[in-house]
Structures are given as C-alpha cells and as structure tokens.
Amino acid sequence: MKLIGSLTSPFVRKVRVVLAEKKIDYDFVLDSPWEAGNKVADFNPLGKVPILVLDDDTTLFDSRVITEYLDNIAPNNRLIPVPNRERAQIKRWEALADGVCDAAALALLESRRPDGERSPSWIARQRDKVQRGVKAMSDELDDQAWYHGTSPTLADIAVGVSLGYLVFRFPDIDWREQHPNLGRLYDKLMQRPSFAETMPQG
Ligand SMILES: N[C@@H](CCC(=O)N[C@@H](CS)C(=O)NCC(=O)O)C(=O)O
C-alpha cells in the first residue's frame, strides 16, 4: 500500500506512527496540497492528506478512517480496543487531538494571510480551541501513564502527535509548563522510534 502525504501534516504523521507501531510495510509518497502542481485532489476530492492507496487502488481518507483500517488489518499490537464503549472513548480522544490540530492549522493559515486580510479574532477563536483542547487532554489523562490500559493506544498516539504539532508550529504555547502530565506522556512517546523518526519538518 501507498501513503500520500507531507512531512509537516500532523494527520499524516499520526498514520505513519500507526503504520510503524503495527509494523506494516508501505511506500511513502511525498506530496502536499500546498505545493504547485500537486496531485492530491486526484486521490482525494477534498484535496487533503493523508490518503492511503490500497493494493487494488482503492483510496482511503481521512486519517481516522485510515487509522481504524490499519488497526484492523493486522491483529498485532491493538491500538483500538474491541469493546464498543472503550472503542468510542479512544476514538473520542483521537477526535479531540485531531480537533486541536485542525484549530492550530486554521490559526496558522490565517496568521500567514496578508496584512488587511488577516482576522485577529479568527486566530484568537482557533487558539482558544487549542487551549481548551489541550486542557481537556490533560484533565482526562490525569495521573495515568496512558489514556487507556497499560500500553499506548491510538488515543496516546493522537494526543502525542497533536502536541508535536504545537512544538513544531506554536512554540509560544507553553502546554508543557501548564500541563506537566502531558509533558511526561510526550517524553515517553518520543522514546519510541515511531515518534522520534516522524517529527514534523519543513
Ligand atoms: N480530517 C482530516 C484533516 C486532513 C487535513 O486537514 N490535512 C491538511 C494537511 S495538515 C490538508 O491536507 N490541508 C489542505 C487543505 O485544507 O486544502 C484528516 O484527519 O485526515
């Protein structure tokens, strides 16, 4: 299978971490919807990455569809528990972490618009979502080592990736100082090759 995406996208990184944790082989095809001449919309009408192209050329998006698909094709190292209630809780944490990335990306894009077109109130609105989302991630982790059970699940991966995106794009947001438990989670995740080798760059 083939993963299409960029080195900067947190959603692509989340999928790469899952592929590494599940030890699934794939080809990584670099493309970005922000690059002139990109081919992203040929695979996803929404023009967004990540996209997973299966061996029969079926395309899968978005990242939450892909992570669930990947967890189900390989039985090793389950990242989403099977019982419905637990599964929903893990996917809720994934949605929360993805939502932090969505809001952060919107704030970043808005901040890059030319003077006169930029909306400070829109940026503030998105940054509030980031702050509230990070606080919820911290409150819900509390003093546990992982969000669920005794080993990392998709919840920890998604939260770790969202924090990594803040490290990359918003160094002024001091989530580590405000939420030491998230700092501990992040440091533990960064000891894993799946995380350390996929830090966003560009
Ligand atoms: N909900 C989607 C979000 C994907 C997304 O927003 N990707 C960004 C890159 S970080 C993108 O491709 N943006 C291009 C655009 O919005 O035109 C997912 O989880 O895959």
pLDDT tens digits, one per residue of 104-132: 999 999 999 999 999 999 999 999 999 99
Q: Are strands 59-60 and 51-53 parallel, antiparallel or unpaired?
A: antiparallel
Low-confidence ranges of the chain (pLDDT < 70): none
Which letter does DSSP use for residue 58 in this model?
Answer: -
74 CB under 6 A from ligand 1?
A: no
pLDDT score at 30:
98
pLDDT tens digits, one per residue of 51-81: 999 999 999 999 999 999 999 998 889 999 9
144 C-alpha to ligand 1 centroid (Å)? 30
87 C-alpha to ligand 1 centroid (Å)? 24
Cα(180)–Cα(202) distance, integer angstroms: 28
Cα(195)–Cα(188) distance, integer angstroms: 10
Residue pair 80/153 in contact by the 8 Å Cβ criterion? yes
> Which residues contact residue 29 at a Cβ distance below 8 angstroms, ignoring those fewer than 6 apart?
2, 3, 4, 5
Tell the residue nearest (CA) to atom 19 of ligand 1. 63
pLDDT score at 201:
86
161 CB under 6 A from ligand 1?
A: no
7 CB under 6 A from ligand 1?
A: no
136 CB under 6 A from ligand 1?
A: no
pLDDT score at 9:
98
48 CB under 6 A from ligand 1?
A: yes
Strand partners, 51: 4
Torsional sign, CA 49, 184, 191, 24: negative
Tokens of residue 197, six digits:
């080798």
